[in-house]
Amino acid sequence: MFGDNNLRLVMLDDPGPFDTLETCEQFLAEVEAMPGFHGKAITIENVKLLIAHKKQELAASRHGVNGCTKAERSMRYGADHSARQVCDFRSDER
């Protein structure tokens, strides 16, 4: 009736934007290990996109405001916040 490719119908609870990077990576590994099912390729593609987005978010949060970490900002600002430059933008550091 459905052909001889033996694809299965599987219901998955894909990770969402509020799940951690580790959860997404674990889900991806589990889906890749599963036998073929309808929608497997698109599920893998979507999760890989979500993982890439989460890695970008993580990198952005590590760089903080204007490409500086919180530690870099605190080193450049004095206790009275008199410093005007927030961060050095040297290309060899980034």
Q: What is the pLDDT of residue 49?
A: 95
The pLDDT tens digits for 7-47 are 677 888 999 989 999 999 999 999 999 998 989 999 999 99
Report how far apart, in Å, the C-alpha atoms of 68 and of each of 5, 35, 58, 88 are.
53, 45, 13, 8
pTM: predicted TM-score of the whole model, two decimal places: 0.61
Q: Residue 54 pLDDT > 60, yes or no? A: yes
Residues 32, 46: Cα–Cα separation, whole Å: 13
DSSP codes of every residue in 64-90: -GGG--HHHHHHHS-TT----------
